[in-house]
Structure 1
C-alpha cells in the first residue's frame, strides 16, 4: 500500500497501480519536475484488468510460469519492515538549506525525509535539491541562497506501508526516479526508510528472492 504526503497532509492512499494514475511528483523551486508515469494495469480501486486486455508481456510471464516445476521452492517474500532502516535521519521543513546540507553530509546520506513542525511527513530533500541553492568548494558551503528546505524539497512524497512488498517499492523507485521511499505506519508516523542500497543488500544477502506470487 502506498501513500502521498504533502504540505497539507495525506493526499492519497491506495495501490501501486492507482498511484501510477496520479499526476507526477514535482520538486519545489527551480529544480525540474519528475517525469510523469502512467499505468493502467488496475483501476484506482485495485481491481484486476479485464482478461481481454492481457498484454504480450503478461502472456510471456504466464508461459514461463507454466514451465516451472510444481515443487519449486520459492524464496521468501520480503516486506518493507524487514529491510528498512528504522533509525531515520530527518530534516525540518523550516530548516535553512545550509543546515540540511550539513545533516546529509554529516550522516553520509544522499536524501532525507522532511517533517513539518508537527513531525508529519511533508516531503523529501536530496543533495541534488540543495545544490540548486548553494555551492560547495573544498567541502565548505558557500554562496548560500536564503532558502528553506520547504522551498526546494520534493513534495508530495511517495511513502509505503511497512507490509508493502519490496518489489513494488523497487518499481516505484524506477518509475518515479526516486532513490528511496519513506515507510509510514497506520497512524501516518514515519517508521523507517527503504533506499536502493537496502533492496540491493537484501538481494545479495538472501537469494533467491521469489519472483512470482
Structure 2
C-alpha cells in the first residue's frame, strides 16, 4: 500500500497500480557518459559502442549452460520481505523550516544522502537530498560556503511517495525505479513516520542468506 504526501497533506492512498496513474513526482534526465582524451573531453555513446561488439556464436548459450550447471539442483527460495523487516527504524529527519545549511550538516553528521522532511506538526511533507541542497550552497573542503537564504521547504522534493510497513519490498523497488527516487519513507495509516528504506537496504536484503524470493 502506498501514499503520496505533500505540503497540504495526503494526496493519494492506494495500491501501486492506482498510483501509477499519477504522474511521476520527479524524474532526472539521462546521464551521458563522458570520456577524457588528453586535454579534451568528448561524449561517448556507450550503447553504440556495445552495439558494435559482437560475441562469438554460441557464447551466450554456453554461458547460460555453465551457470545452470553451477546451481544447486534443489534450490529453495527464501522468504519474501516486507518493508517493516528491512526498514531503518531510527529515521533521521529534518524540518521544513530548517535552513539549508543546517540540513546539510544533518546529512553529513549522520553520513546519509537524503532525509524525510516533516512540518511543524511532524507530518511528512517531502524529502531532501544532497542534490537538492547543493542548488543553494557551495561546499569547499567539507565546509559550507556561499549559502543562499533558503529553507528546506524551498528545495525539497514534494510531494513524496511513502509506503506502509507491510508493503512488499519488490513493489517499493519498482517505485524507486519508476519514480527515480533513492528512498521511500515508511508511514502508518495516519501518516506518522515509522522508518525509511533506501536502495542500500533493498540490496542488502537481496544478498541475505537464505536468498530473497523475487519470483514468488
TM-score when scaled to structure 2? 0.76
Task: Return 5+ residue gaps in structure 2 as ranges.
Answer: 30-73
User: In structure 2, what is the equivalent of residue 22 of structure 1?
Assistant: 22
Matched, 1:13 2:13: yes
How far is 1:73 from its partner? 3.5
Task: Return 5+ residue gaps in structure 1 as ranges.
Answer: 27-32, 36-70
Q: Which moved more, 1:122-131 or 1:184-193?
A: 184-193
1:136-187: per-residue Cα shift (whole Å, max 9, x none)? 0011101100000000000000000000000000011111111100000122
**Distance in 2 of aligned mates of 1:207 and 1:23:** 37
1:83-108: per-residue Cα shift (whole Å, max 9, x none)? 00000000000000000000000000
User: In structure 2, what is the equivalent of residue 95 of structure 1?
Assistant: 98
**Distance in 2 of aligned mates of 1:106 and 1:210:** 35
**Distance in 1 of aligned mates of 2:28 and 2:14:** 20
Runs of 4+ in 1 over 3 A off after TM superposition: 71-74
Aligned residue pairs: how many? 172
Across the aligned residues of Structure 1 and Structure 2, the Cα RMSD in angstroms comes to 1.4
**Distance in 2 of aligned mates of 1:206 and 1:12:** 36
Matched, 1:151 2:168: no
Q: Which runs of structure 2 are paired with 1:72-87 in the superposition (5 Å)?
A: 73-87=76-90
| Structure number, greater radius of gyration | 2
Matched, 1:132 2:135: yes
**Distance in 1 of aligned mates of 2:13 and 2:179:** 17
TM-score when scaled to structure 1? 0.77
SS at match of 1:171: helix
